[in-house]
Amino acid sequence: MDTSNKAQFATRYDLPTPEPDSPSLSRSRKPYAFSTLCATVENPDSSHKDQHGSSSVPIYQTATFKGVGGEYDYSRSGNPTRTHLEHHIAKISSAQHAFAVSSGMAALDIITRLLKPGSEVIAGDDIYGGTNRLLTYIRTHMGVTVHHIDTTKTESIIPYLKPGKTAMVLLETPTNPLLKIIDIASISATVKERCEDAVVVVDNTMMSPYLQRPLEHGADIVYDSATKYLSGHHDLMAGVITCNRDDLAQQMAFIINSVGNALTPFDSFLLLRGIKTLAVRMDRQQSSAMLVAQMLSKLGFVTHYPGLPGHPNKEVHERVADGYGAVLSFETGDKELSERIVGATRLWGISVSFGCVNSLISMPCVMSHASIDPATRAERGLPEDVIRLCVGIEDPSDLLDDLQHALLEAGAITIAANDFVRIPNAVNKAVEKLADMQPRDDNLDRNREWFVSAPGKVILFGEHAVVHGVTAVAASVDLRCYALSSPRNDKKISVRLTNVGDHYHEWNIDDLPWDAASPVPPGEAHADTLDQHLLDAIVQRSLPPADDLPPKTHGALLAFLYMYMSISHTGPDQRPSFHFQVRSTLPVGAGLGSSAAYSTCIATVLLLLNARIGVPPLPARSRSPAAPDDPGHIHVSHQGRRAIAKDSAEEVNRWAFVSEKVLHGNPSGVDNSVSVFGGALAYTRPGFARKSGMDAIQGFKSLKFLLVDSKIPRDTKKIVAGVAAKKMEEPEVVQKLLDAIQSIVDEARRALADPELSRADLLLALSKLIDENHAHLISLGVSHEALEAIRRKTAAQPYELSTKLTGAGGGGCAVTLVPDDFRPEHLQELIAALIADDFQPYVTAVGGSGAGILSPYKVHRNVVHKKEDPITPPETPTPEDSAEHLAFIGSDSQLTSEFSSTPHEDFAHWAESQGRWMYV
């Protein structure tokens, strides 16, 4: 493409040409070229003519203007210097309207203020880090849904276009930093055809109006960070917005005036000065950029630059743009190598920005795009080793020489036959990372069964008040969720949810929407927010409608698939094929943390199958299960292959929290933490005067409880909203209740952690606190008649027990403290009476173990017989020093049939009888 010849620009685009003041010339002038338009700053409005004939637009450095009824009164609303600038920008952008504001991000902020709660935005998956940060904010705080997709293919946006919902499509082309090309015209036409009310917005910073004018190709709004090419010298911050629609212009003008982020007069003057040289700067910069790109490509680096042959969508770019720009990027295959290259340059300045007359170099993943979390960067295909080059106006031979010396010093290239050549054996970290994701240890063999379990929880004190900053005390309960993974060899995965309609579902692994997923590499954390793109893909392509499934099944399957696709290996041949079967002794949906226990089981199994956690090696003289001095627990730990500071319990907890987010949207993290670690903890929400966070309650004594499922479903959101409304109506009354509950919690924590308090005194104190806590919950309006019926039953003679509701949302479950000396016949009588009233009681204890894994070592496992045989321990203990002692149960050990067929009332005992359980 001939990027220097712009003579026909104005003819092709019919841009206005300034006319001389004197009308004496009869012959009309030919349209000016773009470079002439850039250098010629005129405003046809006579009111903006300088009275002294200044050849440079004056700076009206004033905040206010005198008089009444004039065009200007306050510089926030309008300023002559800024008016000249905005007219000039509109002229070179094929626009009717232009606005100059304080920065490029300010421009995008103004544009996104056009959105309303409930609307949806489609954005690219290779975007500037600041753009991603702002979109994340509006998604979190404004109720706007944001879909990040690959916009290089027009058809990819079609599934996300929803008439009446899709309000904006946000594009960058070329993208930053991978220089992906978007077909603005095609996407604009598709959007207008399917969602006529949606606004197409283009970030044109990489090109500037000199090389690309998206309004000519169907875009509704275009914005630039004028800090970059329009200014060209990095001596000001500015943003510009252009459009041709009067309605959009009026809305944005109102926002700018209201917010007060219009560009200052002095910066407007500087920006006008910078634009005058835009054309000559860009011509020099992009011609040098081509030379740099050709050199890197010749050396064998993966180089991203639209001017190179074979660049994806190169023909699309050439159709809508007048040049290739001055930004390029390349990959080295090694993040550390890239860091050495960047550090070794001398002429290239290390900076997060671009568009300056000085050449700049950066690593986006640690600089301009560092605000995008690593998992999201990986999901969007942004290589951690990528280097971005922003070419300036220096002599190109100096730029090439400096870059070559940096590559040489960093060890990326060498000299052979008087020429530079790339070192072929440079370490490729991407390949190394992939290899590291593959299981290598025998005890992590995916062809082995894994039997895991996790406890539910009860909230002992602080329900509902926790939403308003009061501390809650939660403890694990001995009712548990159990999960068994059994290997399959048919490239399928399947799930059986025994307690949720006994639902069975299976999928072909290769048919899952892997194009929408990017697994989180080992050692890296999942993003704070869920991958909405992946969730949508699973729902739309891998699950039947929720109405076609038993209650709660849709969410359970969605959480399983989301976790599987986020944790599993990247290679198709490395994704585990297995059957996942779940049984629970916990009542589902009763406010006892059944979803957290399920999430913990999913996380534990997937982390084991994908070699992210493992069981510890046995010492050579470990005792057999029958040995009297056998330790009670074996603790699960990370394998030594990766230098990760956190142990596997925390790894399981992090992923269980991700699953909880899929199931509940915005969980506190209490349920999964109790499910993983067991025991008891106190939790305080952030955002209040009291210190937030979770604290384990040390020395928590195991307590016997009767849990009673009322079988009455509760609408948690509705109940919580009711308390909030009551607080609005009667703030002083509700605050006194909340303060009283906090006092109860504080007293309970002191009692539970007091080693000198007798057991009898502890139980008496807790009994009184339970009664007081529930009385306050009644005052808050969160109980219901079924729970009160349970309380009356348990408080009656001869039982006289203390009962309260449990569950952050009120749950459908009551908890009754059972003293140590409570007579067994009375307990059985009470249970029978509750069952007769159609309640479901469970006798259990709280404060026990967290997540567990059935040990795969033979020395820890009981002999597995046929189904008709009793479960018995080995007749003869395995010799401690033999190789057999350290061996694992083989893949032929099958628990599946007994897992499915054991009666519910016997299941917990059967599970515990299988051998040694390792608890985290």
Are 534 and 513 in contact by the 8 Å Cβ rule? The answer is yes
Q: Which tens digits make up the pLDDT trace of 512-522?
A: 999 888 888 87
What is the Cα–Cα distance from 495 to 760, expressed in whole angstroms? 46
- Lowest-confidence pick of 316-320, 448-452, 753-757: 753-757
- Percent of the chain scored above 90 by pLDDT? 40
Q: How confident is the prediction for the chain on average, in pLDDT?
A: 82
Domains of the chain (ranges; CATH) run 34-276 (3.40.640.10), 279-436 (3.90.1150.10), 450-619+641-657 (3.30.230.10)
Statement: the pTM of the whole predicted model exceeds 0.75: no
Q: Tokens 């897992």 identify what position?
A: 899
Residue 447 confidence (pLDDT): 66
Residue 47 confidence (pLDDT): 59
Residue 7 has pLDDT above 80, yes or no: no
Q: Tokens 């009476």 identify what position?
A: 833
Peptide bond into 174 cis (omega under 30): yes
Higher pLDDT among residues 865 and 370, named by residue = 370
Task: Please state, as a whole number, how many other Cβ atoms lie within 10 Å of the Cβ of residue 385.
Answer: 21
- Lowest-confidence pick of 173-187, 204-218, 353-367, 775-789: 775-789
Q: In 754-815, which residue ranges form alpha helices assigned H by DSSP?
A: 759-780, 785-795
pLDDT band at 705, cuts 50/70/90? confident
Q: Which tens digits make up the pLDDT trace of 311-349?
A: 999 999 999 999 999 999 999 988 889 999 999 999 999
Q: Which tens digits make up the pLDDT trace of 395-414?
A: 999 999 999 999 998 889 98
What is the Cα–Cα distance from 169 to 190, expressed in whole angstroms? 11
What is the Cα–Cα distance from 12 to 258, expressed in whole angstroms? 38
| Interior/surface letters 672-695, b for 16+ CB within 10 angstroms, e for the rest | bbbbbbbbbbbbbbeeeeeeeebe
The residues assigned a catalytic role are 76, 128, 203, 228
Q: Which tens digits make up the pLDDT trace of 837-891?
A: 988 888 888 877 888 888 887 777 775 444 444 433 444 444 444 444 445 555 4
Residue 9 has pLDDT above 50, yes or no: no
Residue 430 confidence (pLDDT): 34
pLDDT band at 716, cuts 50/70/90? low
